[in-house]
A and B are shown apart, each in its own frame.
Chain A
Amino acid sequence: TQLLEQSPQFLSIQEGENLTVYCNSSSVFSSLQWYRQEPGEGPVLLVTVVTGGEVKKLKRLTFQFGDARKDSSLHITAAQPGDTGLYLCAGERTSGTYKYIFGTGTRLKVLA
């Protein structure tokens, strides 16, 4: 049972298109992070969201934390080949075991 589900699992799009990646759970999180991982490297932190309903922007990337702090989304506007990578959400649960968990991952490929 995966506690933090991401969708889609795979996404291949053309340069210039928009996309949204979702991160969903039945658990409540005190904070949630998004990371990007490129082949042969470790995940790199993109953003942290803490407050329910919070929206953060990082250039063409927009991150949103759900009002109930159970889900999050990542929206990329006008995707570029440099956005290609594995996107991982991760969160600190407020209760239960496995306090800090990673999502199942979304592999994004942006074609030139």
Chain B
Amino acid sequence: DTAVSQTPKYLVTQMGNDKSIKCEQNLGHDTMYWYKQDSKKFLKIMFSYNNKELIINETVPNRFSPKSPDKAHLNLHINSLELGDSAVYFCASSLPGQGIEQYFGPGTRLTVT
């Protein structure tokens, strides 16, 4: 019973391509997130959705577009991939309230060649 799942686990693609990463959570959480973890293991939030509404949109290129078809899903679409987009992308979810305890997916390792 996976709580937060992501597909694919690995994604290797060429510069200029468009790709999507899917995320699903079965925890009944209202809020979902996308994070980027760089080679130094620093986790930086990219987007946050609450009940299908965008609430956080950090400074990321507009080539990145999140889509939330329902509150259990938050997908990440990336256009015109660049070498610098190579990283591990994590989806997470949480309940609103005091103490934002987040539950993370296994990550998607994106390699752009």
Nearest neighbor of A107 in chain B, beta-carbon distance: B41
User: Is A48 at the interface (CB under 8 A from chain B)?
Assistant: yes
B31–chain A nearest beta-carbon distance, Å: 10
A residues with CB within 8 A of B: 30-31, 33, 35, 37, 40-45, 48, 50, 86, 88, 90, 92, 98-102, 104-105, 107
| A33 and B99 form a contact (CB under 8 A) | yes
| Known A100-B45, A102-B42: A42·B104 in contact at CB below 8 Å | yes
Q: What's the Cα separation between A92 and B45 when bound, in Å?
A: 12
| Known A42-B92, A42-B107: A100·B100 in contact at CB below 8 Å | yes
Q: What's the Cα separation between A102 and B35 when bound, in Å?
A: 10
A-B contact count (CB 8 A): 58
| B43 and A102 form a contact (CB under 8 A) | yes
Known pairs A31-B98, A100-B100, A105-B43; list 9 more (Cβ under 8 Å): A31-B99, A33-B100, A37-B41, A48-B99, A48-B101, A98-B58, A105-B40, A105-B42, A107-B41
| B101 and A92 form a contact (CB under 8 A) | no
